[in-house]
Amino acid sequence: MPTASGEGARRALSALLTDIVCVVVFCTVGRRSHAEGLTLGGIAETAWPFLSGTLVGWLICLGWRRPAAVVPTGVVVWVSTVALGMVLRYATSAGIAVSFVVVASISTAVLLLGWRVAVALMNRG
């Protein structure tokens, strides 16, 4: 029989992996929409600043405590993903046009907050 802490660790890992997949999907769709190559290296190059932000967000809010919570976990992870992602892109001269910041903010909100909202709705019913 699984322990409560083992179950919690599985939930946290599953949530973290879901966030990672969401960020990679965002970056992959972005590369595709700009006719950039969909190579593993290209996707990694685009994703690493945002994934860094995702991981920092998890650390800031101790995401493993309430991994599927929209607030605070989802909001902190989302804001950190976008904010740190843009800072790292700027620091590496990757470009951060205002339109990109807007699209990235909306897209990652839909992805990172959306799955958490869906989980909350399923748990209510």
Which of 27, 20, 96, 84 is CA-nearest to residue 56? 84
**Helices in 34-113 by DSSP H: which ranges?**
40-60, 75-91, 98-108
Question: Using 50, 70 and 90 to split pLDDT, how confident is the model at 2?
Answer: very low
Statement: residue 4 has pLDDT above 70: no
Question: Using 50, 70 and 90 to split pLDDT, how confident is the model at 95?
Answer: confident
Statement: residue 1 has pLDDT above 60: no
As a whole number, the mean pLDDT across the chain is 94
Q: What is the pLDDT of residue 36?
A: 76
Q: What is the pLDDT of residue 76?
A: 98
40/124 Cα distance (integer angstroms): 38
Q: What is the pLDDT of residue 67?
A: 98
Amino acid present at 25 = V
pTM of the predicted structure, to 2 decimals: 0.92
Q: What is the dihedral of CA 13, 17, 19, 25, to 10 degrees?
A: -170
Q: Contact at 8 Å (CB) between 68 and 120? A: yes
8-11 — which CB contacts under 8 Å span 24+ positions? 8/64, 9/64, 11/67, 11/68
Degrees to nearest 5, angle at CA 12 with 11 and 17: 100
- pLDDT tens digits for range 33-92: 877 778 999 999 999 999 999 999 999 999 999 999 999 999 999 999 999 999 999 999
